[in-house]
């Protein structure tokens, strides 16, 4: 049987993390292709439902990533994102999801290598954890 390949959804802010992912690409930094990047205008606009939806649609892990506190294009996006992340972590915890499936990162534009490292680490972590408990929801949908 083929090795389990986790699916990761990364919500990345347009100004920092998305650019970092771009940099990782142009600099030819190697990282696993398991990550699906969703570009957001700001990490502060990510709301809990985006994360819940990602899991519902079959993600094995979610990365929420944006600028560092002082870099935000819209002043206080990361602060809002932190508050949202605490909220969604609690919800996912009650739902019985392992805390390791959610990751909050701050990756600035110049940190392409950091982005690659985070994805690599996360993929290894998720491989140990195995498929998400919500995967059955996705399977049902596909079979219909």
**Would you say 100 and 125 are in contact if contact means Cβ atoms under 8 Å apart?**
yes
Choosing from 38, 41, 48, 129, the residue that interacts with other proteins (CB under 8 A) is 48
Cα distances (angstroms) measured from residue 128 to each of 45, 53, 114, 144:
31, 23, 21, 30
Q: How far, in whole angstroms, is CA 57 from its chain's centroid?
A: 14
Choosing from 94, 128, 142, 143, the residue that interacts with other proteins (CB under 8 A) is 94
Residue 134 in contact with other proteins, rule: CB under 8 A: yes
Q: How far, in whole angstroms, is CA 34 from its chain's centroid?
A: 11
Q: At CA 60, angle to CA 72 and CA 11, rounded to 5?
A: 15
31-50 as b/e: b if 16+ CB within 10 A: beebbebeebebbbbbeeeb
CB of 4 to other proteins, least distance (A): 15
d(CA 127, CA 45): 29
CB of 134 to other proteins, least distance (A): 5
CB of 57 to other proteins, least distance (A): 10
The interface region with other proteins, picked from 23-31, 48-56, 72-80, 104-112 by CB under 8 A, is 48-56
Residue 141 in contact with other proteins, rule: CB under 8 A: no
Residue 90 in contact with other proteins, rule: CB under 8 A: yes
The interface region with other proteins, picked from 11-19, 21-29, 83-91, 115-123 by CB under 8 A, is 83-91
Catalog residues that contact other proteins under the rule CB under 8 A.
47-49, 52-53, 55-56, 86-87, 90-91, 93-97, 133-137
């Amino acid at each position: 049987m083929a090795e389990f390949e986790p699916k990761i959804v990364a919500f990345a802010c347009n100004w920092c993390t998305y650019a970092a992912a771009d940099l990782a690409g142009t600099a030819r930094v190697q990282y696993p292709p398991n990550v699906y990047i969703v570009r957001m205008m700001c990490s502060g606009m990510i709301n809990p439902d985006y994360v819940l939806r990602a899991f519902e649609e079959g993600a094995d892990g979610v990365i929420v990533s944006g600028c560092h506190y002082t870099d935000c294009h819209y002043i206080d996006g990361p602060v809002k994102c932190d508050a949202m992340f605490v909220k969604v972590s609690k919800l996912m915890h009650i739902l019985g999801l392992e805390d390791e499936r959610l990751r909050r990162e701050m990756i600035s534009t110049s940190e392409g290598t950091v982005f690659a490292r985070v994805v690599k680490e996360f993929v290894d972590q998720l491989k140990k954890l195995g498929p998400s408990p919500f995967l059955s929801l996705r399977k049902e949908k596909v079979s219909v």
